[in-house]
């Protein structure tokens, strides 16, 4: 996956602070994992660039069907964004 600036995912902090900023900078971007700037730190997030105009950031997914509790929400693999498995950036 590439960011809207054309750089491959790496540890460098991108200019974009959200999936919406990625979408606005690159209208042809497709759904996938992007880096965003979270208070000066690069963070991998899953961006939905196709639904309802695009630019949406995935916060939580429940691919395993385990439901949502405070404890399991914090254990949902925050470094591996996915829409098909458990994931959360809320921890």
pLDDT in tens, 64-91: 777 777 777 766 666 677 777 777 776 6
Q: How far apart are CA 86 and CA 83, in angstroms?
A: 8
State the average pLDDT over residues 39-62. Answer: 88
The whole-chain average pLDDT of the chain stands at 78
Q: How far apart are CA 87 and CA 91, in angstroms?
A: 10
pLDDT for 2 equals: 39
pLDDT for 24 equals: 94
3-state SS assignment for residue 61: strand
The tokens 């460098």 sit on which residue? 12
pLDDT for 28 equals: 92
Dihedral, 73, 78, 82, 86 alpha carbons, nearest 10: -30
Q: How far apart are CA 42 and CA 21, in angstroms?
A: 14
Report how far apart the first and last C-alpha atoms of the chain are (Å, whole number): 24
pLDDT tier at 4 (50, 70, 90 boundaries)? very low
């Amino acid at each position: 996956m590439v960011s809207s600036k054309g750089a491959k995912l790496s540890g460098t902090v991108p200019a974009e602070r959200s999936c919406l900023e990625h979408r606005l900078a690159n209208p042809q971007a497709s759904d996938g994992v992007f880096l965003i700037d979270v208070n000066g730190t690069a963070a991998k997030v899953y961006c939905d660039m196709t639904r309802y105009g695009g630019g949406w950031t995935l916060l939580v997914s429940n691919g395993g069907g385990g439901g949502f509790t405070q404890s399991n929400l914090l254990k949902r693999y925050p470094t591996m964004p996915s829409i098909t498995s458990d994931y959360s950036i809320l921890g």
